Structure 1
């Protein structure tokens, strides 16, 4: 079964990343130390083996060449040749005849003269082969060499040399012991350093983890300070930027909820006041009651408009994917113009349009209708009596540009950057009187951005405001679609 750790629970040390880092360092160093304790020793042994085998072979060859001066070997002649060479005490030297009978043995204590040498090296040498070998066992080097004694191309005997060396073996043991001592010290140092380094690393990770938990609890203003130029410091920077955005989003959300509550509370309060007036006034005449009911209907319509626009903004905030299709912007603008004609006529506003044909964008007809309707309705509502609204549609390069201008009082320069904020209104009293919610331009901006477009606003020379919406132009496959009046 897999053991799970709750998000707020302290992680056990056996599962901590600190232990994993420390074990990683220790395993790597342990592997290096094992290699350090084996490879040099093996190389040293190999060098000693080769040097001793070569040396004994050379000595045996010298002795063999020295005694190979007579046709038949005897104990007296062999002793007479060997003893002046002064090998006594360094090696054990055996000399045999062609049958393997020992004629000379430098180790007098063994008393092997007159016996047959039952050694594999001697047998190989009597067959004409040179033999040399060395091995390490029982804390000593055991080295041997055997060469044939040849007289006029005939093997008349062999020379066998054996060496038992404990001095070089002890030297090798000392090297091993020194390496082990050094390895032990290195292990202790590595263990301490791995604990320190892993703790320093995990401390930074723990700081990030603690910051994440604090932000999870709603403390969006918390920031983590991790210095350096490595990946953890970059991660900390990304975390701080994320919390910045979360804090901004949370502030926008709270302001949005507050503004929405305030906007909804106003018509609700009006409806409550009007209904209380109807209920508390006895003998109210029919015309007054009808007027109150009409006012209630207007406030209800205002609530409906606010709710619909809030739903529209919620849909865009949730990034719901919509199926985009090629849409003729001119046809959409003509529908909007037809719908707003009664409102414009009522206010004495003249709507002028200059719409090019063939201007296609990839979007939805409802979204384009909403953009155009909001901009053109505002241009009519917030105009002066007898004013004008100019709507233009044209294609410029790879863009389709929609321009809506009015001859109204305009927007103060300091308010231009804020007019796309939700529930922001330049003149709150006039906006409410005109039925505005402060959400239309926010919907325009978000809807245009959802389809790859952008909205800009500027004051118009001579008074009024100019809104401009730019969309990427759509071309059919295999050719261009010109924007012209033809």
Structure 2
């Protein structure tokens, strides 16, 4: 009973068998009652026919003629006067005596059924009154042995029994194929999910129907594709993070060993200690960014939005980065109208913009231009960081928000960073319900645009 096809087959069989039995029962009852009613009507019509003859010629000769007609048929007739005295009979009257009773209310035109209990009584009977010159004169009783009725019902039962067996057999065959047809794609999906649980995500399911099963097969294939992508992302992430952690640790350990074991001049010693401090700071930044990303992945990263006026906010950022711009000889331009506000987390918005501006500083040549812009379009506020630096190749643009992805594959210490900055920016932007778009051309510069919807100019 563990197989779904068996369970479905049994369930379908019980339901269909119950419906067929119910239908056959009422159909059988209807046909049986209809056939018995036909027999009674035929018997009544025969009695009325004799009554019509007797009403025209009610004499001994006519009575004997009617009795003679019925003596060779499967039915019997008994003719009595209005007081119940037998005037003629096609057979012995002993077996019919209990039926020779005149009903209290008798339809003189159509007659009446005297006995219709064909299941328990040996005969069914009808009576037809005979009127001569408007006066009730006699009664014509007609009888038919119920053996013929039982024989008719027995034949009907045999036909129903045969039809029932054929129906059951065909039902079982149909259910077997139907249950297998339903469960076959489910079994393939089970095998596919079993492979996925073992880490094999290259599954392919035949989509043979445009229904719920077809949708389920598409969903499983999509899930397998996503899991395979996540597996590759995880492997790349682990490889990248191990490299990123190993590099500063190697520098720290190597230079620490040199400083400890060798007697170095103060100038060289200070040089190595400076490298150790730089790599320690780099490692600290990396761990902090990984911690931030972990909180974002767990949806435990809270955004505390406030109403921020952009002009003074951008001015503070410009002052903070003034030395960085001056050190590299970059020209910074701020373009922001007065009295323009957005709802955002000030710390996180600052983190977003600092990451973007830091990238622009790293990848711009001395004498380059960097712009921080804000403007309103319809019901949205647009922010943009623009530079004329190295730019990003077009094929690299879809990948720049991946964790540890760098356009510069050399991973130099001067420009490499942690490779997590843009990944964090993307998560923070989406946490604000905003959008981020990047436009870049190699050797011409890059523009990163943020769109905060629903904010109004005051």
- SS of aligned partner of 1:302: helix
**Aligned partners of 2:84 and 2:100 also within 8 Å:** no
2: CA distance, partners of 1:336 / 1:173: 102
Alignment of 1:120-131 (within 5 A): 121-124=101-104, 130-131=111-112
Q: Identify which of 70, 73, 80 aligns with 1:87.
A: 70
CA distance 1:401–1:109, shift in 2 (3 Å)? closer
Q: Is 1:301 matched with 2:281?
A: yes
Q: Identify which of 106, 111, 115 aligns with 2:90.
A: 106
Alpha-carbon offset, residue 202 of structure 1? 1.7
* Cα deviation 1:293-343 (Å, max 9, x = unaligned): 222111110001111122222223333463453542444423322221222
In structure 2, the partner of 1:3 is none
- SS of aligned partner of 1:421: coil
1: CA distance, partners of 2:301 / 2:71: 101
CA distance 1:89–1:79, shift in 2 (3 Å)? farther
**Aligned partners of 1:125 and 1:146 also within 8 Å:** no
1: CA distance, partners of 2:166 / 2:443: 88
Q: Is 1:45 matched with 2:41?
A: no
**Aligned partners of 1:18 and 1:199 also within 8 Å:** yes
1: CA distance, partners of 2:99 / 2:174: 57
Structure 1 vs Structure 2 CA RMSD: 3.1
CA distance 1:259–1:109, shift in 2 (3 Å)? same
CA distance 1:41–1:425, shift in 2 (3 Å)? closer
Q: Identify which of 367, 382, 392 aligns with 2:373.
A: 392
Unaligned runs of 5+ in 2: none
1: CA distance, partners of 2:392 / 2:280: 29
Alignment of 1:16-55 (within 5 A): 16-35=3-22, 37-55=24-42
In structure 1, the partner of 2:291 is 311
CA distance 1:143–1:79, shift in 2 (3 Å)? farther
Alpha-carbon offset, residue 66 of structure 1? 4.3
TM, length-normalised to structure 1? 0.82
In structure 2, the partner of 1:239 is 220
TM, length-normalised to structure 2? 0.87
**Aligned partners of 2:122 and 2:146 also within 8 Å:** yes
**Aligned partners of 2:108 and 2:129 also within 8 Å:** yes
In structure 1, the partner of 2:168 is 187
2: CA distance, partners of 1:78 / 1:123: 25
* Cα deviation 1:28-51 (Å, max 9, x = unaligned): 442354245434433333333333
**Aligned partners of 1:458 and 1:465 also within 8 Å:** yes
Q: Identify which of 429, 441, 452 aligns with 2:422.
A: 441
In structure 2, the partner of 1:149 is 130
Alignment of 1:356-435 (within 5 A): 356-427=337-408, 432-434=413-415
- SS of aligned partner of 1:136: coil
1: CA distance, partners of 2:204 / 2:275: 51
* Cα deviation 1:125-160 (Å, max 9, x = unaligned): 78979321534327x983211133334554344222
Alpha-carbon offset, residue 199 of structure 1? 2.4
How many residues end up aligned between the 2 structures?
A: 452
Out of 359-368 and 259-268, give the one that drifted further: 359-368
1: CA distance, partners of 2:5 / 2:36: 47
Alpha-carbon offset, residue 104 of structure 1? 2.8
Out of 392-401 and 141-150, give the one that drifted further: 141-150
In structure 2, the partner of 1:74 is none
In structure 2, the partner of 1:471 is 452
